[in-house]
Amino acid sequence: MRKRFLEHLEWVALVAYAGDMDRIPVDLDKPWLTVADICDYMDVSTFVVTSVLRSGELPAVKFGREWRVARGDFEDWINTQRAQSTGHRAQTGQRPGEG
């Protein structure tokens, strides 16, 4: 129970810290994104994207063998990842680009 509370406090701190950053908008003109869309946008391989989708880290819907991600969920995920990365660097004293 205490661990969950501490995790929640850490999340709240990250959100507050991230509030000082500009939000990254995902400027794609469709409400549902394919794996290929995300690969093109992030310049990563399909393996990377499908690994994140399979882990459940990024919310998605699977239709047969095809994945679809709501644009809003993708945008939220990117900004959460950025906040966590920035929060980690702030806690460890790392500057952007270090680790």
Nearest alpha carbon to residue 19 among 86, 71, 94:
86
Q: Mean pLDDT, to the nearest integer, of 64-76? A: 97
Domains of the chain: 2-92 (1.10.1660)
Which pairing describes strands 32-33 and 66-70: parallel, antiparallel, or unpaired? antiparallel
Q: Can you tell me the distance from the alpha carbon of 46 to that of 41, in angstroms, rounded to the nearest whole number?
A: 12
* 11 CB neighbour count, 10 Å cutoff: 14
Give residue-wise pLDDT tens across range 17-57.
Answer: 545 678 889 999 999 999 999 999 999 999 999 999 999 99
Count of CB atoms situated within 10 Å of the CB of 69? 22
At residue 43, the 3 state secondary structure works out as coil
| pTM for the full predicted model | 0.67
pLDDT at 89 over 70: no
